[in-house]
Amino acid sequence: MLTPIMPAQRLLPVSIGILALGMAIALLYYGRVFFITVIIASIIAFLLDPVVELFMKMRLPRGVASFVVCSIGLMFVYLAGLGLYTEGTQMVSDLPAYGARVNELVDSVATHVDNFEKRVYQTMIPKRFQERPPEQLPETAVTGRGKRKKQEPQPPPPTIQEVRVRPEPKPLVTYIYNFLTPFYNVLLMASFVPFLVYFLLSWRDLLRSRFLYLFEGDDRQVAGRAWAGVGDMVRAYVIGNFLLGLLLSVASALLFASVKLPYWLLVGPVSGFLSLVPYIGLPLALVPPLIAALPIREPTLYLFIGVSVAVLHLLALNLLYPKFVGKRVHLNPLAVTIALMFWGMLWGGIGLLLAIPLTAAIKAICDNVSSLQPYGKLLGD
């Protein structure tokens, strides 16, 4: 005779699952710097792995090929940083003009706000209350016998002279320390990214074999397919976004150069890649060209920037993005929206950028594990 399952016995696994989920979310939140560093390094390693295999076909050992690929990647990062620094130094020389234009815009907005408040006041308040003269202070006072006596101004109360202590100037090292302290953990973890990428590339085969050794029988084949599926998905997503961002950068730079926008060589790529940010890409892509156009007093230029950036964004989102990225990711819009909300809540802005690849990686794992395939279908399009 079967014994009925008590409600407490049913609730125990659910309670344990909810508790484990809460602990996992807390761990992801408080250890976000560590996890973000590992995930970014893993994405870069998956992306560079085909290049390492290409060098290995030239009879180079995997360690040497990984070192060469990492060195080339660091060289590209250095050249990109050098280009940004060069454009930034030129922009610094034009900061007074930008500052004057910003002050002018702020004053104009403040004037319009004041005029609007006056119009609202004149509309809502009756005129008899608007034209009421201010009350006059009495110049004379009535004495005890009924005679008026002119009030004499009272001397101001004695004030205590303030003694200001001039603080001692802080050394330069203190200023640098106070500035870098909030970014210490981020800079520390970012310094590990090149080493993590190199070790993940050079030890790829060893790590994969040790990972598969954790499973037995058919589960080992499933784990191998999941490993390959995650790698293919990451490469397809990153390369697709990079190519699409490169195309948008070239198109934006050419359009900005045609109207002689200042710093179009810097503004074009920044606007093009910002346009790929999910949901908020269009307003982010408008910010760099509008800032660069501040010293130019031509309304048609602002209209051209707004229309051109919006057209490029819509074309990329509706026509190019499905061809470059959508064929490999296969996530439905609801799953993408919830993923953006969840990872953005946990990790902020970097969570918005990693939300889609993380969710697509989870879907790739679910698609290759038979017991998790229903969840993969739930996330799919």
Instruction: Say how far apart CA 127 and CA 105 lie, in whole Å.
Output: 33
Q: Mean of the pLDDT values across residues 309-316?
A: 87
User: Rounded mean pLDDT of the chain?
Assistant: 78
Highest-confidence segment of 27-36, 150-159, 215-224: 27-36
- Whether pLDDT at 148 is above 60: no
Q: Is 34 exposed, middle or buried (0-12, 13-18, 19+ CB in 10 A)?
A: middle
Residue 336 has a pLDDT of 82
Whether 310 contacts 282, CB under 8 Å: yes
pLDDT bucket at 137, cuts 50 / 70 / 90:
very low
Residue 377 has a pLDDT of 85
Percent of the chain residues past pLDDT 90, beyond the cut: 1
Q: What is the dihedral of CA 93, 96, 99, 100, to 10 degrees?
A: -150
H/E element holding 259? Answer: none
Could you read off the pLDDT of 355-364 as tens digits, one per residue?
Answer: 888 888 888 8
Helix (H, G, I), strand (E, B) or coil at 6: coil
Helix (H, G, I), strand (E, B) or coil at 173: helix
Residue 292 has a pLDDT of 83
Residue 118 has a pLDDT of 76
Determine which of 154-163, 318-327, 372-381 has the lowest per-residue pLDDT on average. 154-163
Q: Mean of the pLDDT values across residues 161-178?
A: 56
Q: Which residues are CB-neighbours of 97 under 8 A, at least 6 positions away? A: 295
Helix (H, G, I), strand (E, B) or coil at 35: helix
pLDDT bucket at 1, cuts 50 / 70 / 90:
very low
Whether 312 contacts 275, CB under 8 Å: yes
Q: Mean of the pLDDT values across residues 187-202?
A: 85
Tell me which DSSP letter residue 142 carries.
E
**328 or 79, higher pLDDT:** 79
Q: Which two three-digit tokens encode residue 335? A: 């799953």
Q: Which two three-digit tokens encode residue 58? A: 């030239």
Could you read off the pLDDT of 246-268 as tens digits, one per residue?
Answer: 888 899 989 988 888 888 888 88
Residue 63 has a pLDDT of 86
**DSSP of 104-125, one letter per residue?**
HHHHHHHHHHHHHHHHHHHHHS
Closest to 88 measured CA to CA, from 263, 289, 256, 250 = 263
- Whether pLDDT at 165 is above 70: no
